[in-house]
């Protein structure tokens, strides 16, 4: 425990000897705190006396520090709430637990890689403290401090933070921050960074925003793009970090392209949009893609057109999805897909072509404004007769295919 340079002396109610609140062994060594007597002193208004330092094997020390050292967190919090001077979290106080990585089970004899190491290195090419295109630190390294488990995987870090958030002191600090209240005690820079780290990992947006305004340094850890493949799992974490000031622009998520048969990197904001996150509008204000740097599919048969349909009216396109693509940094001119009108008729085309095919004028106009040009369809066998039969059937009466003549115009070969 720390030992301040000089003690603070009280002036009122001299009858209280603060040393009586501490349990000594051999007259010098502190072995505990008399919680009942500390509480009694608080109720009787001995705030100034409780701010005095007591002798210990570590030197002069505050009663608040001793309460933390011996695990009396509720008593320590009571000292803070009632305004006892000198209450501050010492640098040695552990705001853990921190994430522990699973033990490696690789077999060097047969050169086999265990599941932990495979998951750890898959899609990640980081080396030491250098990040690859899939990963990020979130904040500038020169403005931050490394968390003790800075290289842990997200799932392990989240579980450790959830446990840390249940510790009485940290739980109370997060509760007060969530309510926008001033913290009643002083925290060292690294301690405040850890509190923000826990708030982000537990998805506590309100607490993260409040604490970020007090941070002198930022919590640094490696955030891997592959940890954000499941947008539902990380949604609250992402939003808490964004509201706290984190920068996600450099993170990419690995995506396996079945056409190219290789893994490609998709910017995080584009991945969130394509995964139909219900909170996309909450993310949109934080992502500002640079002009000319939009992401576009690399394969011509990418089958991403389904990401632009309306869930409630499948397979109709959604004009909101089309108009929202630029905010996610997506160039929709390369988006294509294949849809079937029935078992014997299948077509593929761009978003504009499909909007015309389904008679969605608002979607067609939105596509044109984003630079899409008129393009035809590629139809399967004997498309002319199949399509004509389909249009004259009763099944076509409920189908959104409205303008057969426009369809013929786009496909002059029919």
Quote the CA–CA distance of 265 and 260 in Å, as a whole number.
13
Q: Greatest CA span in the chain, whole angstroms?
A: 104
Taking phi first (over 0 means left), then psi (-120 to 50 degrees means alpha), and beta for anything else, what does residue 252 get?
beta
Buried b (16+ CB within 10 A) or exposed e, 32-64: ebeeeebeebbeeebbbbbbbbbbbeeebbbbb
Picking from 10, 12, 21, the residue whose alpha carbon sits closest to that of residue 65 is 21
From first to last of the 414 residues of the chain, give the pLDDT tens digit. 444 433 344 444 457 899 999 999 987 899 999 999 999 999 998 988 999 999 999 899 999 999 988 888 888 888 988 889 888 888 778 888 888 866 665 655 555 655 555 554 456 777 767 778 788 888 988 999 999 999 888 888 999 999 999 988 899 899 999 999 888 888 889 999 999 999 999 999 999 999 999 999 999 998 888 888 877 778 899 999 999 999 887 788 887 666 666 777 888 888 888 887 667 778 877 877 766 678 887 766 666 777 887 765 666 888 888 888 888 888 888 887 766 555 544 566 788 877 877 778 888 888 888 888 655 455 444 444 545 554 455 444 444 443 443 444 344 443
The terminus-to-terminus CA distance of the chain in angstroms comes to 85
Question: Which tokens is 45 given?
Answer: 């208004």
Predicted local distance difference test score (pLDDT) of residue 41: 93
Q: Do residues 401 and 370 lie in contact, with contact meaning Cβ atoms separated by under 8 Å?
A: no
Q: Do residues 120 and 216 lie in contact, with contact meaning Cβ atoms separated by under 8 Å?
A: no
Predicted local distance difference test score (pLDDT) of residue 218: 95
- 378, with CB counted inside 10 A (0-12, 13-18, 19+), is middle
- 268, with CB counted inside 10 A (0-12, 13-18, 19+), is buried
For 114, half-sphere exposure in the C-beta direction (CA atoms, 13 angstrom radius) is: 10
Q: Do residues 116 and 189 lie in contact, with contact meaning Cβ atoms separated by under 8 Å?
A: no
């Amino acid at each position: 425990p720390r030992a301040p340079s000089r003690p603070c002396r009280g002036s009122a109610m001299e009858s209280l000897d603060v040393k009586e609140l501490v349990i000594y062994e051999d007259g010098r060594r502190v072995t505990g705190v008399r919680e009942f007597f500390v509480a009694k002193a608080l109720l009787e208004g001995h705030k100034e006396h409780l701010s005095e330092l007591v002798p210990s094997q570590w030197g002069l020390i505050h009663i608040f520090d001793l309460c933390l050292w011996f695990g009396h967190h509720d008593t320590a919090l009571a000292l803070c709430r009632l305004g006892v001077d000198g209450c501050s979290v010492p640098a040695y106080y552990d705001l853990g637990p921190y994430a522990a990585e699973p033990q490696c089970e690789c077999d060097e004899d047969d050169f086999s890689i265990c599941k932990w190491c495979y998951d750890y290195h898959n899609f990640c090419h980081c080396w030491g403290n250098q990040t690859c295109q899939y990963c990020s630190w979130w904040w500038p390294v020169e403005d931050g401090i490394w968390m003790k488990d800075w290289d842990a995987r997200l799932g392990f870090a989240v579980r450790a933070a959830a446990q840390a958030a249940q510790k009485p002191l940290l739980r109370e600090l997060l509760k007060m921050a969530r309510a926008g209240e001033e913290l009643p005690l002083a925290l060292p820079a690294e301690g405040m960074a850890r509190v923000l780290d826990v708030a982000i990992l537990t998805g506590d947006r309100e607490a993260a925003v409040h604490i970020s305004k007090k941070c002198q340094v930022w919590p640094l850890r490696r955030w891997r793009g592959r940890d954000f493949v499941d947008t539902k799992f990380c949604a609250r974490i992402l939003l808490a970090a964004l509201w706290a000031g984190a920068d996600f622009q450099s993170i990419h998520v690995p995506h396996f392209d079945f056409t190219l048969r290789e893994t490609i990197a998709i910017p995080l904001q584009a991945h969130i949009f394509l995964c139909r996150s219900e909170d996309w509008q909450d993310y949109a204000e934080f992502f500002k893609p640079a002009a000319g740097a939009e992401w576009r599919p690399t394969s011509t048969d990418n089958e991403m057109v389904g990401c632009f349909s309306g869930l409630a009216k499948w397979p109709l396109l959604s004009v909101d999805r089309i108009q929202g693509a630029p905010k996610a940094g997506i160039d929709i001119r390369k988006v294509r897909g294949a849809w079937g009108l029935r078992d014997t008729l299948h077509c593929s085309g761009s978003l504009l072509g499909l909007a015309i095919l389904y008679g969605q004028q608002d979607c067609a106009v939105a596509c044109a404004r984003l630079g899409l040009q008129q393009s035809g369809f590629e139809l399967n066998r004997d498309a002319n007769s199949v399509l004509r039969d389909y249009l004259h059937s009763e099944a076509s009466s409920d189908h959104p295919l409205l303008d057969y003549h426009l369809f013929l115009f786009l496909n002059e070969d029919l």
